[in-house]
Structures are given as C-alpha cells and as structure tokens.
Structure 1
Amino acid sequence: MTESRPLAIGINLSFCVKRWVTPELWAPVVRERLGLDLVQFSYDLADPLWPAAVLERQAAAIRNVSADHGITVHSAFIGLAHYTFNQLLHPDPDVRDFAHVWLERAYAFAAAAGITRVGGPLGAIASRVDGAEPEALDEREYDGLVTRMLSLAERAKAEGLTELYVEPTPMRREWPWTIPQARRMMQDVAGAAVPWRLCPDWGHGTFQPLYGAGADSMEPWFAGLADVIGAVHIQQTDFQYDRHWDFTVPGAVDPAAAAAELRRNGLGDVPVFLEVFYPFERDDRSILEAVATTAQILKGAMA
C-alpha cells in the first residue's frame, strides 16, 4: 500500500564544511533558515583524533545547542576528509589498523554528543599500475573487511550506539558497489552486536558510466534492499558523475518521483538527507539561498 504521510527530510552538514563549523553556527542555519529539524553530522566538522578535552567540549556543544534549537542529530557520517584515505582497505595493514581506531574514536565522540548512529563508506583498495579494475574484492580482502565490521560493531555497542551504516559507492575498488554485493555484506554481518544497515545515495546508484544507461532511478536498489536500508542520501545529479548538486541546479532527479520511489518500496519511514557540496570559494550568501530553496522544494515534494 502506498504511504501518504510526509517523509522525514533532513540535511547532512556537508554544506557547512569550512563555513558554519560549530553548532552555534549551523544549528540556527538549519532550524531558522532551512526550516529543518533533522541533521546528519559530518566528521569534516570534528576530527575524532583531536585532543580529548577539545572533543569533550565539541560533543557537549552539539548535544546542548541542537537540543536548544529543537534539532535531532540522527547520525554522524565520516565526511570527505577521512573518505579521501583508503581506510579499512588500504594496502598497508598498519593504515587499516589506524582507520579502525579512527572509527572507534568516531563512535566514542558520537556517543558523547548524543548521536546513536554512525556510518559512511568503509574503504577502497589501491589502484593497479595498469589501471585495470577488478569486478569484486579479493575474497581475503572481503573476509578481512567483514571481520573488522563485526569487531567495530562490538565497540559501537560498548559505546551505546544503536546502528551502523555502510554507504555503497559507484566504484569497483570500494565495497559494496552492486546490489548483490550489498545483500551479501548485510547477510554476512547480520549477527553483529549492533545492526549494520545501508545508506544508499541517489547519485551513487544512478551512476550510468558504471551501471549502464538503464540506471536512471533508485528503484532497483530500493526494491532489492529495502529491508536493510536505514537512511538515504538525496542530491541533484545528471547520472554521469556523483554531482551532489542542490535542487536549484537542473538535473535528472525529480523530487516528487523520488518520494514516490521511496514510498512504493516501503521506505516511507526512512529519513532522507540532502547531501550537497560546494566549492570553498563560493560566497556564503548564495549557498544559504540555494540550500534554503532546495529544502523547500524537497519538503513540498515529500509532504
């Protein structure tokens, strides 16, 4: 049966990077300028490896200021800075170990900030010298990744978190990048101490250079994985690259059609987060105007 109640629309704080970098700055922007009360924190705004005293102060500010503004911080995602490293699939085992520690610290910070969910992409294998890209991870690489996911879930439970997310990306060197891979991974971590869920992104599942010209909607991802999806990222894109445009830019994603896809596949209760990025040199006022307009477009389409 098609659901008719409004979808929960929030925003990933990616648009705040190098701009509205503290809760005292981003909370009034989100609540008063955008008219939203749901956010996904980005670790581009707080590095889990900062000194303990700094992290404690930052976490308290997130917890208190968001509450003062009536904002729910649903989850925290790793952000672009940490994503640029190969993380849990780096060819150097010591770097993988460090990425594991980074995530454990991220969990501790989230818990201190009153955030109960953490997620993002998990890592990328290195490119080959000849440029050839395998269709799947080596089984040893995959088994090691699953082992780390199970270990991380134990740590997340100890910190009091309730859910962890994997964000599929449209690259053969990362995992998972196909629906069957995502299903397999969710099955292999089904017994984790804290549930692992997926956070698909509109610009990832529709990346036609990888998936073909038929990848013009998120319907296959939603239909095939609805039971293991815990959140969704939405963006405007052209299906040719992972654009992360706002909805003042012409593109291939129709917000009303997007809402219908979610409802049609039983995802009407799953929060949808706008995730947009801007050049650092772009002026602040135009960004505020574009994000505010986009928030109104999405709220109207998904009401």
Structure 2
Amino acid sequence: MDIKLGMNTSFALNRFPLPKEWIDIVTDELELKYVQFYFDLLDPVIIEEKVREKICEEIREYSMKKGIEIVNTASGAISHQTNFLLHPDKEVRKSFINWYRKAIDETAQMGSKSTGVYVGAFSMADIQNEKRKNEVLNDYINIMGELSDYASQKGLEYLLIEPMSIPREYPCTIEESLYINKKLNSVSSIPIYLNLDVGHLNILSNNERDRDPISWIKELLKYTKILHIQQTDKEASRHWPFTEEYNKKGIIDGEKILDAVCETGVDEIYLIMELFYKPFGNADYEVIPSLKESVRYWKNIINKRVDGGKKCWNH
C-alpha cells in the first residue's frame, strides 16, 4: 500500500497567499511533498483570467522546482458558504457550473490532474420535500456528467466529491455516499472518487456507523482517493491540529486510523491534513508551530510502525 502524507492549503488562507510562501512552508518547514490546493487562494471567477493564468504558471513552475505534487484542487471555504450545485434555482445552478468549468481550467493550468470536493447544500425547503430534493439531486448528477466530459477534455484524470456531516450537505451518510458514488460513475467520462474526512461524522444519524470514523474508512476507502485528517471531537468537525493540547480533547487516534486504512488493502491513498485556524487573536503565530507538531505526530506513527515491522505503505 502506498500512503502519501500531505497538507492542504487551508492553513495559508489570507496569511500566506503567494505561491512561494505556502510552497516553501510545505517543503522547507514541514518537509512534505503532496498538496491539496484550496481555490480560496485563487478563485476561478473572482480573479480575472489573465491574473489566474499568471499565478497558475507560477504555481506550476515553482512546484516542479521544489519537487511537490499538487494532488488535487479543492473547492475551499468560499463556495462552501453557498448551495453550490444543489441550489434550488436552476439558473443559479447553471452559474455554478461555470464556476466549476473555470476551476477545471485552473486545475489543468497549474498541472494538477484532479479537482472537486464540495457537492452543495439543499435549501431548508428542498430538504423537507422529497420530490424537490430528488429533482435537484438528479439534475446535479446530470451536471457532473457534463463536467466530467469537460474535465476529460482538459486532461484531468478524475474528480472528487466529499461526504459531509449534516443532512442538507449531501452526502452525509455512508449509504448516501455509496449511492451517489455509483450514480455519478454511471454518467461520468472519468472516474469520480470520494474525498473522505475523519471528522465528517453525522452525529444526528440513527445509524451508529455514520458516527464512527473507522466505519467510514472501512466501508468507503476503496472508493476514495484522498482522506482528510484533522483532530476533532464528537460535537462538530473542528479541524484542530494534532498538537498535545488538541489530542487530549479530540477523538482521532492516528494509530487506529492507520490500522483501519491498512485493513482496507487499497493500493494508494493520499492522507491530507486539513487544519483550520481562526483569523483573529494569536492564531497567526500558532500556525506554523502547530503544523510542524501535527506533521511530527503523523510521521512518528508511520516510523514506529515501519520500525516495528508493521509496514503497509511507502511514504
């Protein structure tokens, strides 16, 4: 099994916005080589095209120079504040299709082979109306078929969707994730995989499996390319770092997570840290030290397992 430890750029938002800044942190400070890029750093629509092209070229060239791989581009926080491709108004949904197409363009320009992640959120009215919910969801499936054609033309190899934690943000259960993964791949020109997150637990579900990160991994990792890792509790998806302070509060045990990953027998998985930092107070000065401690936490687990003869991956 080939497990690749990496970082997404959530830590960099409005703190380290220049490509050289966040790439140097990943390579020189954290000594990692795999990156998931957040579109919040270079929004496909807000930033004008010629500027996007310039920065994508900077990212592509500097990534190659520093020896890192932009594994995937991800929707990020801005689009997550919208209904996105599940918006109740059909014309608004079409506008988000345009956002996604430009995201595909940007992904190809920076040399990455995959994009995606956020599906969208149903409105309060739609989530309470099964007929309307199914109409919007079926339209979404057709949209992803069209977008997969466009992604294939641009040279992308696969797309990603991310299961979430609440009923309005689809999918939010293991069963919903299995269903939508199968439906999307039946209409897609290129594979569509899951981007799981150990903290995206549906604590409102009546099914105990939906409240257990190990169950998500064991049942869904074979349909997954990226597994987000974060420290969290059972109250919300916290996206805490893996520091001594937060490991005492949190429920995520790295050794148990890796045991579950290895038991699935998948050939390859990207283990990507997705850590959030509040934009006020002393957080600015805590970011890099806590990132370093988080990387040490995971590398120590990996090295201990390798030294103990329990190796099931390369890193």
TM over 0.5: yes
CA separation of 1:20 and 1:219: change in aligned 2, threshold 3 A = same
| Residue 61 of structure 1 pairs with residue 62 of structure 2 | no
Residue number in structure 2 paired with 1:241: 236
Q: Which moved more, 1:95-104 or 1:274-283?
A: 274-283
CA separation of 1:261 and 1:211: change in aligned 2, threshold 3 A = farther
Aligned partners of 2:238, 2:206: CA distance in 1, in Å? Answer: 16
Residue number in structure 1 paired with 2:285: 285
On the 8 A contact 1:10/1:274 being kept in 2, the answer is yes
Amino-acid identity (%): 27
Residue number in structure 2 paired with 1:161: 156
On the 8 A contact 1:133/1:173 being kept in 2, the answer is no
Residue number in structure 2 paired with 1:295: 295
Residue 141 of structure 1 deviates from its aligned partner by 1.7
Q: 2:92 aligns with which of 95, 101, 104?
A: 95
| Cα-to-partner distance string for 1:45-79 (whole Å, 9 max, x where unaligned) | 00101211101101001101111111111001000
Letter in 2 for 1:34: L
Residue number in structure 1 paired with 2:112: 115
Residue number in structure 2 paired with 1:24: 20
| Residue 142 of structure 1 pairs with residue 141 of structure 2 | no
In structure 1, list runs of 5 or more residues that go unmatched. none
Letter in 2 for 1:295: V
CA separation of 1:85 and 1:256: change in aligned 2, threshold 3 A = same
Letter in 2 for 1:187: K
Residue 183 of structure 1 deviates from its aligned partner by 1.3
Residue number in structure 2 paired with 1:262: 261
| Residue 226 of structure 1 pairs with residue 224 of structure 2 | no
Structure holding more helix per residue: 2
CA separation of 1:211 and 1:76: change in aligned 2, threshold 3 A = farther
TM-score normalised by length of structure 1? 0.92
On the 8 A contact 1:11/1:39 being kept in 2, the answer is yes
Residue number in structure 1 paired with 2:4: 8
Cα RMSD for the two superposed structures: 2.0
Residue 12 of structure 1 deviates from its aligned partner by 0.8
Count of residue pairs the alignment pairs up: 296
Aligned partners of 1:211, 1:136: CA distance in 2, in Å? Answer: 23
On the 8 A contact 2:122/2:133 being kept in 1, the answer is no
CA separation of 1:110 and 1:87: change in aligned 2, threshold 3 A = same
Residue number in structure 2 paired with 1:76: 73
On the 8 A contact 1:170/1:210 being kept in 2, the answer is no
| Cα-to-partner distance string for 1:97-116 (whole Å, 9 max, x where unaligned) | 11111000000001000011
Aligned partners of 2:159, 2:297: CA distance in 1, in Å? Answer: 29
The alignment partner of 2:71 has SS state of: strand
Residue 136 of structure 1 deviates from its aligned partner by 9.6
Residue 240 of structure 1 deviates from its aligned partner by 1.4
Residue number in structure 1 paired with 2:307: none
Aligned partners of 1:268, 1:144: CA distance in 2, in Å? Answer: 33
On the 8 A contact 1:125/1:173 being kept in 2, the answer is yes
Aligned partners of 1:106, 1:213: CA distance in 2, in Å? Answer: 36
Letter in 1 for 2:301: A
In structure 2, list runs of 5 or more residues that go unmatched. 304-315
Residue number in structure 1 paired with 2:176: 181
